[in-house]
Amino acid sequence: MKVTNGDMFGAVQAFQEIVKIELPAKTSWMLVKLASKVEARCKSIEKVRTGLVLKYGKLNEETRQAEIKPDSESWSDFVAGYNELMEQEDEIDMEKIKIPEEVNGKPVMVTASTLAALEKFIEV
């Protein structure tokens, strides 16, 4: 499946939520495998994102961390680099995962925000 860095970056928290839901073992296993692949790629995305903050941001003396603010001179350069990073496509060797509507006669309850974040990775 082809996804963007933005798709993956936005899905990490949603994967952490959906793997907590009671699902058939095969579905759970497939979700965990896919989540692991996405999380591994997100570590690289985060390194590049951090590099952009270091490049365009300034050191906050209190927190001793670099930060970038919307009113800074280099904000538009940071946003351009960030958008370019998030638009990059990557190939993940897995198909969309089918989430059942019911498990043991009970409806599977997934929040709308989780479904939206996982739209590229699952189908209901």
How confident is the model over 62-120, as pLDDT tens digits? Answer: 999 999 999 999 999 999 999 999 999 999 998 999 999 999 999 999 999 999 999 99
pLDDT at res. 20: 92
pLDDT 10s digits, 25-36: 999 999 999 999
Whether 103 contacts 23, CB under 8 Å = yes
The DSSP line for the chain is -EEEHHHHHHHHHHHHHHTTS---HHHHHHHHHHHHHHHHHHHHHHHHHHHHHHHHSEEETTTTEEE--TTSTTHHHHHHHHHHHHH-EEE-S-PPEEPPSEETTEE----HHHHHHTTTTEE-
pLDDT at res. 75: 97
Beta bridge partners of 57: none
Indicate if the pLDDT at residue 124 is higher than 90.
Answer: no
pLDDT at res. 21: 93
pTM of the model: 0.85
pLDDT 10s digits, 8-24: 999 999 999 999 999 99
pLDDT at res. 33: 95
